[in-house]
Amino acid sequence: MNPSFPSKSFMYVVLIFCFLGATRLYASDPYLTLDYYASSCPTVFDIVRKEMECAVLSDPRNAAMIVRLHFHDCFVQGCDGSVLLDDTITLKGEKNAATNIHSLKGLGIVDKIKNIVESECPGIVSCADILTIAARDAVILVGGPYWDVPVGRKDSVTANFDLANTNLATPDESLLSIIAKFLYQGLSVTDMVALAGAHTIGMAQCKNFRSRIYGDFESTSMKNPISESHLSNLKSVCPPMGGGDNNITAMDYMTPNLFDNSFYQLLLNGEGLLNSDQEMYSSVFGIETRQLVKKYAADPLAFFRQFSESMVKMGNITNSESFFTGEVRKNCRFVNT
């Protein structure tokens, strides 16, 4: 095979999706500022931080749950709190979409923070902003980097079940398809690889990694003794058939509750738990992604810097309509009546 073929194919796909996604680039939206609540609710950041400290102290896995909620919110009609909405007679939410059902956790934490913020500053701080701030604090509390959070988002009065099924990446999706989904949101390949590093914390369900551990895990990990032992443990958690779909294991078995760069080191060793993660290093099309994985595996500070930048960029994917039709919900689960 011509060694230049993957590069040409990769660039061709990227250029197409850059063009198609141009209308969706909402980064650096002028409505968001760092001091939006400076006079109207100056204690909001302190409240969120205190409640996240309690949540992560009680269970470190809560950090990953909040970060995941934020990701799944922003990739569906922007960071507008739509993922938090419950189904009602007149509204079909996103929680039961295939990418979310039985896997969205941490909603009670957001509810608790919202109740406290409402008692301090009624009708001022959106659920979308609370979730965005909480995600930043969650990362810090398990050892990750700090970044400033621009605020001023409004909560949507709609949700989009169909977009939740199509916009969010799935564990067995191809590398090029996932790249396309990030480009559609105005996020680069570099953003994608850095944001995937959030998998250094959190858990995955058996149904999302079964095909990986009974597929090419042995070949990518070169059958070294440590990998073989780990694979044996994974198979004990996740049988090939007959149930266990919701059994869970850490995506980063080296340091599951610490936000660090060991996730990328696992990819170098061919031990990525999800097919979609390992593809960033092992795919024939992963020319750019492979180099970024190597970079972040070797340089934790470079990973932290890029992750911070990419989280701000993702948080700035806004639902432009919500600034005109949106609101500040009283209850994050329901549109105001």
**3-class SS letters over 73-92:** HHCCCCCCCHHHCCCCCCCC
CB-based contact 121:44 (threshold 8 Å): yes
Q: What is the largest CA-CA distance in the chain?
A: 65
Query: In the numeric block, which tokens belong to residue 154?
Result: 């409004």
**Nearest to residue 332, comparing CAs of 159, 202, 160?**
159
102 carries a ligand binding annotation: no
Phi, psi of 331 (to 5 degrees): -125, 125
Question: Which of the 8 DSSP states describes residue 204?
Answer: E
Neighbouring residues of 67: CB distance < 8 A, sequence distance ≥ 6: 135, 138, 139, 198, 201, 202
- Any known ligand binding at 325? no
CA distance 233 to 256: 15
Residues 6 or more apart whose CB falls under 8 angstroms from that of 13 comprise 176, 179, 180
Is 200 one of the annotated binding-site residues? yes
Question: Is 76 marked within a binding site?
Answer: yes
260 is in an annotated binding site: yes
Per the annotation, does 82 bind a ligand? yes
Residue 279 and residue 273: Cα distance in Å, rounded?
Answer: 11
Q: Is 311 helix (H, G, I), strand (E, B) or coil?
A: helix
Residue 138 contacts residue 202 (beta carbons within 8 Å) = no
The residues that are catalytic are 72
How many residues are listed for the chain in this entry? 337
Neighbours of 30 (CB within 10 A): 7
Residue 337, annotated ligand binder? Answer: no
Contact 93, 85 (CB under 8 A): yes
At 152 the three-state DSSP class reads coil
The residue with tokens 């890029």 is 306
Is residue 199 marked as binding?
Answer: yes
Is 29 known as a binding-site position? no
Q: Which residues contact 103 (CB under 8 A, 6 or more apart)?
A: 68, 205
Q: Which residues are annotated as a binding site?
A: 73, 76, 78, 80, 82, 94, 199-200, 252, 255, 260
User: Which residues contribute to the annotated binding site for Ca(2+)?
Assistant: 73, 76, 78, 80, 82, 94, 200, 252, 255, 260
> Which residues carry a binding-site annotation for heme b?
199
